[in-house]
Chains A and B, each alone.
Chain A
Amino acid sequence: NAGVTQTPKFRVLKTGQSMTLLCAQDMNHEYMYWYRQDPGMGLRLIHYSVGEGTTAKGEVPDGYNVSRLKKQNFLLGLESAAPSQTSVYFCASSYMTDLRPRNTEAFFGQGTRLTVV
């Protein structure tokens, strides 16, 4: 049971380059999220998705785009990387039901360490 899988695990980009981070989950979760983690700060939500074909902005969406073409995959794109985007990126997923939409646990991937030089 793989859970939430992120690829790649590490990446170094030059300023202005683009890249896509892939998140895949095999738990049939509706909700998926992308967070970034910076030293001394809590995780911050970049974008999230409540289902296939839907995405929404989180707390820090600027400079990122996302897509959820398939329920199990959530992609995070950086069109023109900047040094300020150096961070560790985490993908998460959770299951939501109509009966108890908020009482659910979030599951996380192993993270992607991105350095922009």
Chain B
Amino acid sequence: KQEVTQIPAALSVPEGENLVLNCSFTDSAIYNLQWFRQDPGKGLTSLLLIQSSQREQTSGRLNASLDKSSGRSTLYIAASQPGDSATYLCAVRSSNYQLIWGAGTKLIIKP
């Protein structure tokens, strides 16, 4: 059974720092992995989608990597800003219909 873990559960860093969020999964047979952002009381916004054949994806200050063999993905945020404060979720697609989710990392960027 696929399990997805995100460590740490919470992270607080000063503004301007580069940071890395981690996502690990137990079964390497995935089709893709998606990173989401969730603001308090709001829905989920898709940040990056990495196909199983890809190693990384970039969007602005965000870079997501995928290492299927080791069951790991990282989300790198460059030059963090207070507006980056949110909960970041990763989810892996292991079948046509289901995403398996991590519990998220709550990120606080201190001005």
Contacts and interface: CB of A to CB of B under 8 A. Distances in A.
Chains A and B bind each other: yes
Interface of A: 4, 31, 33, 40-45, 48, 50, 56, 58-59, 90, 92, 96, 101-103, 105-111, 113
A109 B43 contact: yes
Contacts of A42: 4, 89, 91, 100-104
Interface residues of B, number: 27
Contacts of A50: 96-97
B97 A48 contact: yes
A45 B89 CA distance: 15
Q: Is the interface of B mostly helix, strand, loop or mixed?
A: strand
B46 interface: yes
The 3 closest A-B pairs by CB, nearest first: A42-B101, A102-B31, A110-B43
Contact of A48 (B46, B98, B104): B98
A40 B87 CA distance: 12
Nearest to B32: A103
